[in-house]
Amino acid sequence: MTSPHPPAGHPPIPPRKIGVLLTNLGTPDAPDAKSVKRYLGEFLSDRRVVEIPAIAWQPILRGIILNTRPKKSAHAYGLVWGEDGSPLAAITRRQSQALQGAFGQHVLVDYAMRYGNPPIADRLIAMKDAGCERILIAPLYPQYCAATTATANDRAFAALAGLRWQPAIRTLPPYHDDPAYIGALKDQVESQLAALDFTPDAIVASFHGMPKRTLELGDPYHCHCQKTARLLGEALAPVLGGREVTIAFQSRFGPAKWLGPATDETLAALPGRGVRKVAVIAPGFSADCLETLEELAIRGRESFVAAGGTDFAYLPCLNDGAPGMAMLRTLIRRELLGWIDQDM
Ligand SMILES: C=CC1=C(C)c2cc3[nH]c(cc4nc(cc5[nH]c(cc1n2)c(C)c5CCC(=O)O)C(CCC(=O)O)=C4C)c(C)c3C=C
Ligand SMILES: [Fe+2]
Ligand SMILES: [Fe+2]
């Protein structure tokens, strides 16, 4: 006679599942100075983000930055905050919801943030508790950077350190040159350009900046951004007809030298070079956020127009639109091979 499974007194066994955890940067819970202070305190204390010894950096952060920046940043967040909250959080949530169901009922999709809510540790443990024995962690950064990809993965692995029974883990590699990503950007930018009521003289591809020192230390981020911009320029060549995709780096922070050219300086210089109509894209951001909606679409426009530009368009990120979601399905399906059937 066989014994009942599980035997009496055994902890409950949930059905076996596969998890996909999308991770992104994170955002304040509300567009007020207190919430922004809490968020920036966590974000800017990350040694992967600010690579200055804590003994030197923390007094500057706690004594100066967290007493001045939150009020200014909260105002900026207020300009882009939607009915469903911070754009970054709302869009990442929608991406996760749209993916749920794409890989069959045994695949659970969720999302988490490196800073703020929902925390990576909570969602990862929740996935394990729901029966996920295999989990794909998918940092939604096309270009690898230690300050983004690595710190998100670090946080996930730190959470696993506390588990007796760990799930098997895979992580999504950077996809800066993946044909699925370049193709999605091409399709989206082509249709965005076709919908404009002017023809831009130039396309500026703005990526988040990093301290120049990180390139010298071996971070591939700068090279990944350059390759994305080159491949996208080549893919768009038939519609651009000789006009180039110009690369620039935004969001400089602090006094150190950052990757250049700077987006704000590029936009202010273009009209002087005869470029009066511009379209700006942000291919490194998988979701629109403060850095795109306020820094590019509002302040970028102001700099360009103040310098004599006549027409400015900010073209939104892939977000949860059809090309971006098709790309995410392709990338994730590939990483799940061997865990799910190929035809799922
Ligand atoms: C040393 C400071 C910073 C580094 C390095 C950095 C790298 C980096 N950031 C992103 C993506 C995003 N950053 C966002 C906001 C943001 N970034 C910094 C500073 C650094 N970023 C600050 C202080 C802020 C907060 C806003 C402000 O006060 O200016 C966001 C938007 C978040 C949101 O809530 O909408 C994103 C996304 C990348 C990709 C990156 C390195 C490659
Ligand atoms: Fe940033
Ligand atoms: Fe910014």
End-to-end CA distance of the chain: 38
Question: Which domains are present in the chain?
Answer: 17-175+323-335 (3.40.50.1400), 179-314 (3.40.50.1400)
pTM assigned to the model:
0.96
**pLDDT single digits (tens) 275-317:** 999 999 999 999 999 999 999 999 999 999 999 999 999 999 9
Q: What is the pLDDT of residues 247-262, one digit of tens each?
A: 999 999 999 999 999 9
Instruction: Indicate whether this complex's ipTM tops 0.85.
Output: yes
Rounded to whole angstroms, the Cα distance separating 57 from 55 reads 6
254 C-alpha to center of ligand 2: Å? 12
Residues framing ligand 1 (Cβ under 6 A): 25, 27, 40, 49-50, 69, 73, 86, 88, 141, 145, 147-148, 208, 210, 221, 251, 253, 284-285, 289-291
**Of the ranges 22-31, 97-106, 142-151, 210-219, which one carries the lowest mean pLDDT score?**
97-106
Contacting residues for 230 by C-beta, under 8 A, at least 6 apart: none
Calculate how far, in angstroms, residue 289's C-alpha sits from the geometric centre of ligand 3: 10
CA distances from 319 to 74, 231, 300, 344 (A): 23, 20, 20, 23
| Token pair of 25 as six digits | 């940067």
Q: Which atom of ligand 1 is nearest to the CA of 214?
A: 5
DSSP secondary structure letter of residue 113: E
